[in-house]
């Protein structure tokens, strides 16, 4: 699915900056990070580097962002050139991570695992991350909640589910960001138990699940809006500890 993000380019950035579900994901991840001062950090599926820069700005270092999309990494490097944070970027597939300069205290993965097209690919992702983490390292991942398609409706939150296509191991989900024009993308609908099994098979002894948190109400999104989102959240926070 590399090509879809190469094609999306800046429209993904638009979705990230406007979609309510992205705001909730960022708020949740930011709160879960805690004090990262001086921790080495690896941001997987880094896209245009939003969370990678967040890690650096919060005091983590060194920070490395990894993405399979050449276009996404190009955008990330453009931001780094404009406002340097010391982040390095690597173009790589997380199912087959190349040798990295060192092991990391922290890894983040926002919407990575839902692009695994098979159980073998899902296990490979978790194994690569487990190997990249130092002892007592931590993985924070945002993963999609399985969607009650066609009843699930996330349109007011920035995402429209179009079609579920049955597959041998996992359904394919066709959807679009509600940008103007809409931005199409595809991923796979794993169950939370599938993520947990792959993580434990990769060597993570503990997996914890936390609900998505929402930002304080403001002039654009009031408390009723965020309550609707909390009732039907797009995603969930997964925490895995390496020992």
DSSP string, the chain: -HHHHHHHTHHHHHHHHH-HHHHHHHHHHHHHH---TT--EEEES-TTSHHHHHHHHTT--SEEEEES-HHHHHHHHHHHHHS----EEEE--GGGPPP-SS-EEEEEEES-GGG--SHHHHHHHHHHHHHHEEEEEEEEEEEEPPP-TTT---GGGTEEEEEEE--SSS-EEEEEE--SS-EEEEEE---HHHHHHHHHHHT-SEEEEEPPP-PPP-SSS-HHHHHHHHHS-SEEEEEEE--
Specify the pLDDT at position 4. 60
In a domain, 173, yes or no: no
Where in the sequence is the domain holding 25, given as residue range(s)? 2-146+190-241
Specify the pLDDT at position 153. 76
Identify the residue whose tokens are 């931005």. Answer: 183
In a domain, 165, yes or no: no
Query: 91 - beta bridge partners?
Result: 67
pLDDT class of 15 with cuts at 50, 70, 90: low
In a domain, 153, yes or no: no
Q: Count how many domains the chain has.
A: 1
pLDDT tens, residue by residue, 55-90: 999 999 999 999 999 999 999 999 999 999 999 999
Specify the pLDDT at position 146. 87
Is pLDDT of 152 > 90?
no
**CATH assignment of the domain containing 35:** 3.40.50.150
In a domain, 158, yes or no: no
pLDDT tens, residue by residue, 105-144: 999 999 999 999 999 999 999 999 999 999 999 999 999 9
In a domain, 23, yes or no: yes
pLDDT class of 3 with cuts at 50, 70, 90: low
């Amino acid at each position: 699915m590399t090509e879809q993000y190469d094609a999306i380019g800046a429209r993904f950035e638009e979705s990230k900056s406007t979609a309510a579900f992205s705001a909730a994901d960022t708020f949740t991840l930011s709160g879960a990070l805690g004090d990262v001062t001086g921790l080495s950090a690896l941001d997987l599926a880094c896209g245009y580097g939003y969370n990678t820069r967040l890690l650096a700005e919060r005091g983590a270092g060194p920070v490395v962002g990894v993405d399979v999309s050449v276009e996404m990494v190009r955008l990330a490097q453009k931001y780094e050139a404009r406002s340097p944070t010391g982040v390095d970027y690597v173009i790589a597939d997380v199912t087959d991570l190349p040798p990295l300069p060192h092991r990391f205290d922290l890894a983040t993965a926002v919407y990575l695992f839902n692009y695994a097209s098979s159980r073998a690919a899902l296990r490979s992702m978790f194994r690569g991350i487990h190997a990249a983490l130092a002892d007592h390292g931590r993985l924070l991942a945002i993963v999609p909640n399985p969607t009650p398609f066609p009843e699930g409706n996330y349109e007011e939150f920035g995402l429209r589910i179009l079609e579920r296509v049955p597959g041998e191991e996992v359904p394919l989900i066709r959807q679009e960001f509600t940008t103007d024009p809409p931005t199409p993308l595809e991923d796979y609908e794993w169950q939370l138990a599938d993520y947990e099994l792959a993580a434990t098979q990769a060597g993570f002894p503990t997996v914890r699940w936390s609900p998505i948190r929402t930002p304080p109400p403001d002039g654009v999104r009031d408390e009723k809006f965020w309550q609707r989102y909390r009732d039907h959240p797009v995603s969930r926070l997964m925490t895995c500890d390496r020992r």
